[in-house]
Chain A
Amino acid sequence: MTPLISVKGLKTYFRTDEGLVKACDNISFDVNPGEILGVVGESGSGKTVASMSILRLIAEPPGYFDGGEIIFEGKNLLKLSMKEMREIRGNKISMIFQDPMTALNPFLKIETQLTEVLVQHKSMSLDKARAKCIEMLKKVGVSLPERRLDMYPHQLSGGLRQRMMIAMALLCRPSLLIADEPTTALDVTIQAQILELIKSINQEFNTSVILISHDLGVVAGMTNRLVVMYAGKIVESGLTEDIFNKPSHPYTKALLNSIPRIDKEQKQLDPIPGLPPSLSSIPTGCPFHPRCAYAVEKCKTTYPETAFITSDHISKCWEVSRL
């Protein structure tokens, strides 16, 4: 199957006062048509930068692309002009953000913020765009859509705002939806509803989704495949099922051990010792070695080669056999 989007060797770096920050260091992954890809990792692991790089939303400077390519519909997104990029943003690739409280403009009515997407990309008249928005709001489960359109963001609840964001992202029927921690700022019951909505959109519109999360519980039931990031690098990737059944990187394993399980007797959770490294001073060798229970001498000096657990389940660890 030809992937919908293919990220190859992406290097997104930032020049900062503390030195060069390699937020994404040689990241590669594919998203196939119609699938949901999960990207997991702690805060600062580079998952948001990876997704923002796809839409070229990185502030340049201080950020820049040191290498790699992002192939979408046969074109390298990193080489497109800003004008060409605008035609893709919100049209073919959309993004929803972590905090729906701040991601909507508090100064503008919902109607303006929704219709402007259609006016920009589909050159629709305002009346037509409004009708289309109402239709979309019904699809994402917003009751009384006509009334909501006349409201301002502060008049809506968190869950409703995220639904607005999702509706906004879907107006042009994009082939890829990037959801950057879409439920982190919401309470648990609303979380479940929003995830359900994303899943149904994926099935109904056949929209591929990149679901970014720090919550393994969230991605477990949602995604087909999974990418685990640590300190700007991908440490493990494969089918979600395989990764949960046979975690093949000490970091993934530690993450799984640190979440409560309903099917096992647990006296206490096992946290990962230490802190994730600052991206401006990443340890040499395998970046996880200072926190790793399996680390050997080699891990401190040399970055691991790719270990194939199965043909599409890979891990970056020297000690895979001991896990």
Chain B
Amino acid sequence: MSLFIAKRALSCLITIFIIITASFFTVRLAPGSPFSSERDIPPEVLNNLKAKYGLDQPIEKQFVHYLENLLQGDLGLSTKYPRSVNEIIAISLPKTLQLGTIAVLWALLIGISAGVFAAIRQNTAWDYSFMAIAMIGISVPSFVLGPILILVFSLYLYWFPPGGWGSFEHMILPGITLGTVYAAYIARLTRAGMLEIIRTDFVRTAKAKGLKESYIIWKHVMKGGLIPTITYLGPAIASMMTGSVVVEKIFNTPGIGPYFVDAAFNRDYFLIMGIVIVYSTFLLGMNFLVDLLYGYLDPRIRYD
């Protein structure tokens, strides 16, 4: 087991290194520079700017320098904002994480319970309506769902603020908007996974033993039935936790999402790199966690 963890950790490190290298150079390939603007900047100023950010060095030197700083936890300076990348992430990421947590909880709560319920009541009106709602949830994009929720719950019912940040209430609507599409996928996956297990011989055995229906679902079906859902949860949680540009824009959430887009537009080299590193670490970490969860859920999977 520990050997497996060590192996996986090493392969994650290698993957991250490849991601860093690839994005470092591709970003530089994009036309334009952090300092291109409509007005020409005097050459002396431009040279000073380049020197400040180390962009006057040859590119391989810049890369080595970047890696050295990275190892010390320094992500560099933003070329657009008067802050370091570390500061920007430190301020915006926690907000995105809080929002993501709400979204994850919502997606899990609604998705798993709807999926399990639909599976138990397979081919009934409950099943059909839950799955129809899930289909709608998958189809409606967040830039439609968000404004609808604002209309209903903020402008009409006055339950939640329509946007901004500051209290728990501010997180509800964006959290739901972000989580709904995942909830819908989770519901469908959970239903399919549960149904697959419900049809197995060992569930028939459990029935032949005279066990209660609810006990059978909980004890005999859940563990195996949730495996497809868990597989999906790795990348899903990672993308919910890292937020959504669209949702954060709609609700004016000061999270990390909008920075990503702005950074790309502004060729804010170091900010792009910083956010890419945060995103990919998250994704790799979640997938790693999912692999470990498999072993817990299915005793036939052993990592040695």
* Interchain CA distance A168-B220 in the complex, whole Å: 16
Using an 8 Å CB-CB cutoff, how does the interface string of A138-180 with B read, 1 for contact, 0 for none? 0000000000000010100000000001001000000000000
* Interchain CA distance A86-B208 in the complex, whole Å: 8
Q: Does A200 contact B (CB under 8 A)?
A: no
Q: Which of B4-12, B100-108, B139-147, B209-217 contacts A (4 or more CB under 8 A)?
A: B209-217
Partner among A90, A106, A109 whose Cβ is within 8 Å of the Cβ of B209: A90
Q: Does A256 contact B (CB under 8 A)?
A: no
Q: Which of B53-61, B186-194, B199-207, B276-284 contacts A (4 or more CB under 8 A)?
A: B199-207
Contacts of A104 in B (CB 8 A): 202, 205
Contacts of A55 in B (CB 8 A): 208
**Category for how many chain A residues contact B:** 20 to 34
* Residue of B with least CB distance to A56: B207
Partner among A88, A112, A120 whose Cβ is within 8 Å of the Cβ of B212: A120
Q: Does B249 contact A (CB under 8 A)?
A: no
Restricting to B252-304, which residues have a CB under 8 Å from any CB of A?
Answer: 297-300
Q: Does A57 contact B (CB under 8 A)?
A: yes
* Centre residue among B210, B215, B219, B297 by max chain A CB count within 10 A: B210
> Is A112 in contact with B209, judged by CB distance below 8 angstroms?
no
Using an 8 Å CB-CB cutoff, how does the interface string of A99-120 with B read, 1 for contact, 0 for none? 1001111111100100011001
* Centre residue among B203, B208, B220, B223 by max chain A CB count within 10 A: B208
Contacts of A299 in B (CB 8 A): none
Contact A57-B204, Cβ < 8 Å, known A107-B298, A108-B219, A108-B220: yes
* Interchain CA distance A94-B224 in the complex, whole Å: 25
Contacts of B206 in A (CB 8 A): 105
* Residue of A with least CB distance to B222: A107
Contacts of A136 in B (CB 8 A): none
* Centre residue among A94, A102, A103, A165 by max chain B CB count within 10 A: A103
Using an 8 Å CB-CB cutoff, how does the interface string of B209-238 with A read, 1 for contact, 0 for none? 111100100011001100000000000000
Q: Does A95 contact B (CB under 8 A)?
A: yes
User: In the complex, what's the smallest C-beta–C-beta distance from A52 to chain B, in angstroms?
Assistant: 9
Restricting to A75-108, which residues have a CB under 8 Å from any CB of B?
Answer: 85-91, 94-95, 97, 99, 102-108
Contacts of B207 in A (CB 8 A): 57, 89
Contacts of B205 in A (CB 8 A): 97, 103-105, 165
Contacts of A109 in B (CB 8 A): 299
* Residue of B with least CB distance to A87: B210
> Is B224 in contact with A107, judged by CB distance below 8 angstroms?
yes
Using an 8 Å CB-CB cutoff, how does the interface string of A36-48 with B read, 1 for contact, 0 for none? 0000000000000
Q: Does A8 contact B (CB under 8 A)?
A: no
Q: Does A121 contact B (CB under 8 A)?
A: yes
* Residue of A with least CB distance to B208: A95
> Is B210 in contact with A120, judged by CB distance below 8 angstroms?
yes
* Residue of B with least CB distance to A101: B201
* Residue of A with least CB distance to B207: A57
* Interchain CA distance A154-B211 in the complex, whole Å: 23
Contacts of A95 in B (CB 8 A): 208
> Is A89 in contact with B208, judged by CB distance below 8 angstroms?
yes
Contacts of B210 in A (CB 8 A): 85-91, 117, 120-121
> Is B201 in contact with A168, judged by CB distance below 8 angstroms?
no
* Interchain CA distance A90-B204 in the complex, whole Å: 12
> Is A154 in contact with B300, judged by CB distance below 8 angstroms?
yes
Contacts of B209 in A (CB 8 A): 89-90, 94, 116-117, 120, 168
Contacts of B204 in A (CB 8 A): 57, 97, 103
Partner among B215, B220, B297 whose Cβ is within 8 Å of the Cβ of A105: B220
Contact A103-B202, Cβ < 8 Å, known A89-B207, A152-B300: yes
Contacts of A88 in B (CB 8 A): 210
* Interchain CA distance A154-B210 in the complex, whole Å: 24
* Interchain CA distance A90-B206 in the complex, whole Å: 9
> Is B201 in contact with A99, judged by CB distance below 8 angstroms?
yes
* Interchain CA distance A235-B208 in the complex, whole Å: 28
Contacts of A85 in B (CB 8 A): 210
Contacts of A117 in B (CB 8 A): 209-211
* Residue of B with least CB distance to A152: B299
* Interchain CA distance A198-B206 in the complex, whole Å: 21
* Interchain CA distance A94-B208 in the complex, whole Å: 7
Contacts of B299 in A (CB 8 A): 106-107, 109, 152, 154
* Residue of B with least CB distance to A178: B208
Using an 8 Å CB-CB cutoff, how does the interface string of B140-184 with A read, 1 for contact, 0 for none? 000000000000000000000000000000000000000000000
* Interchain CA distance A94-B218 in the complex, whole Å: 22
> Is B202 in contact with A106, judged by CB distance below 8 angstroms?
yes
Using an 8 Å CB-CB cutoff, how does the interface string of A48-75 with B read, 1 for contact, 0 for none? 0000000101000000000000000000
User: In the complex, what's the smallest C-beta–C-beta distance from B268 to chain A, in angstroms?
Assistant: 49
* Residue of A with least CB distance to B205: A103
Contacts of B300 in A (CB 8 A): 106, 152, 154
Besides the known contacts A103-B204, A152-B300, 8 further A-B residue pairs in the complex with CB atoms under 8 A apart = A57-B204, A86-B212, A89-B209, A97-B204, A105-B203, A106-B298, A107-B224, A117-B210
Task: Spell out A's residues near B (CB within 8 Å).
Answer: 55, 57, 85-91, 94-95, 97, 99, 102-109, 112, 116-117, 120-121, 152, 154, 165, 168
List the 7 closest pairs (A to B, CB-CB), nearest first.
Answer: A89-B210, A90-B209, A90-B210, A102-B201, A105-B202, A107-B223, A152-B299
Could you pull out 29 A-B pairs where Cβ atoms are within 8 angstroms?
A55-B208, A57-B207, A86-B210, A86-B212, A87-B210, A89-B207, A89-B208, A89-B209, A90-B211, A97-B201, A102-B201, A103-B204, A105-B205, A105-B206, A106-B224, A108-B219, A108-B220, A116-B211, A116-B215, A116-B219, A117-B209, A117-B210, A117-B211, A120-B211, A120-B215, A121-B210, A154-B300, A165-B205, A168-B209
Task: Spell out B's residues near A (CB within 8 Å).
Answer: 200-212, 215, 219-220, 223-224, 297-300
